[in-house]
C-alpha cells in the first residue's frame, strides 16, 4: 500500500505495528508534520467516524483508533515548527461539559504553545463553573472551547450564558466537528458580551488568536 493509505489504515485498524517507521518515512516526505495529521491520519479518523456511525465499529475499537492518533501526534510534535519564546498571551482551553473528545483540543494546545502562547488546558467535561473559576484565577486573554457532539454545541451556548452572568467578556474561541460558523454567530455570540470566534481547525485557531492580539 502507498504510505498515505498505510497511515490511514493504522488509525482505522487501531494498530501501532509499524506506525513509527511509517511516520518517520512521512516526516522525510512532508515539509510540515501537520500535513501528515490533517491529511492521511485525519482521513483514517473520518473513516473511523463513518464505520462507527454504520455500527461497524464499537466504542472500544474507536478508542484504539484514538490511541493511534494520540501516539502519532506525540511522535510528530517535536518536529513541528516552533516560534520564538516571546509570550503572545494566555489561553484557557477546555472540552465542554459532557464531552470527552480531546484529540482536536490537544492539537490546538500543541499548535498554540509552539507558537508562543501559554496554554492552560483544563481537560475534558469542563463545567462552566470550573471555566469561570479558571478565568478569574488565570486571567487569560482568550478562552478556547472544544466539543464534538451535537449536544456540545448547545453546551457552548449555556457556557457563554454562564460566563456572561459572571461578568466575563473575554474573547471566546470555539471549535469542533458539530459546530458551524453560522451557529457560532447566531446562537453563541448572541448570548455573550465579548467576541466569539469560530475556528475550523487548529491552525485557524492560531490565526484567530494572532488576529485578536493585533
Residue 17, Ramachandran bin (φ over 0: left; ψ between -120 and 50: alpha; else beta): beta
Does position 201 bind ligand B1M by CB under 6 A? yes
The footprint of ligand B1M on residues 10-49 (CB under 6 A) is 45-46, 48-49
The answer to whether 192 and 169 are in contact (CB under 8 A) is yes
| 65 among known catalytic residues | no
Task: List binders of ligand B1M among 159-178 (CB under 6 A).
Answer: 173, 175-178
Interactions with ligand B1M, residue window 95-154 (CB under 6 A) = 98-105, 107-108, 144-146, 148-150
Residues listed for the chain: 214
101 is catalytic: yes
Q: Which stretch binds ligand B1M (CB under 6 A): 17-25, 56-64, 79-87, 157-165?
A: 56-64
Q: Does the CA dihedral 28-32-33-34 come out positive or negative?
A: negative
Q: Is 75 a catalytic residue?
A: no
User: Could you give the strand order of the β-sheet that contains 117-121, starting from the edge strand earlier in sequence?
Assistant: 117-121, 89-95, 142-146, 172-175, 196-198
Please enumerate in sequence order all residues whose Cβ is within 8 A of that of 60, keeping only pairs 6 or more positions apart, or say none.
Answer: none
- Choosing from 22, 65, 101, 102, the catalytic residue is 101
Which residues of the chain form contacts with ligand B1M (CB under 6 A)? 45-46, 48-49, 52-53, 59, 62-63, 65-66, 69, 98-105, 107-108, 144-146, 148-150, 173, 175-178, 199, 201-202, 205
Annotated catalytic sites, by residue?
A: 99, 101, 152
Amino acid at each position: 500500500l502507498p504510505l498515505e493509505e498505510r497511515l490511514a489504515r493504522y488509525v482505522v485498524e487501531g494498530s501501532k505495528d509499524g506506525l513509527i517507521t511509517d511516520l518517520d518515512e512521512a516526516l522525510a516526505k512532508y515539509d510540515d508534520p501537520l500535513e501528515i495529521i490533517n491529511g492521511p491520519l485525519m482521513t483514517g479518523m473520518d473513516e473511523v467516524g463513518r464505520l462507527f456511525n454504520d455500527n461497524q465499529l464499537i466504542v472500544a475499537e474507536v478508542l484504539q483508533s484514538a490511541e493511534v492518533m494520540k501516539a502519532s501526534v506525540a511522535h510528530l510534535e517535536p518536529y513541528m515548527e516552533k516560534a520564538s519564546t516571546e509570550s503572545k498571551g494566555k489561553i484557557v482551553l477546555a472540552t465542554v461539559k459532557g464531552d470527552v473528545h480531546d484529540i482536536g483540543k490537544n492539537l490546538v494546545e500543541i499548535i498554540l504553545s509552539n507558537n508562543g502562547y501559554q496554554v492552560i488546558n483544563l481537560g475534558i467535561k469542563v463545567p462552566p463553573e470550573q471555566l469561570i473559576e479558571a478565568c478569574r484565577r488565570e486571567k487569560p486573554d482568550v478562552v478556547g472551547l472544544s466539543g464534538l457532539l451535537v449536544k456540545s454545541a448547545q453546551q457552548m451556548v449555556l457556557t457563554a450564558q454562564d460566563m456572561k452572568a459572571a461578568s466575563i467578556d473575554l474573547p471566546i474561541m470555539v471549535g469542533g466537528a458539530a459546530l458551524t460558523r453560522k451557529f457560532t454567530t447566531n446562537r453563541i455570540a448572541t448570548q455573550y458580551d465579548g467576541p466569539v470566534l469560530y475556528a475550523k481547525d487548529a491552525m485557524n485557531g492560531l490565526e484567530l488568536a494572532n488576529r485578536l492580539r493585533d
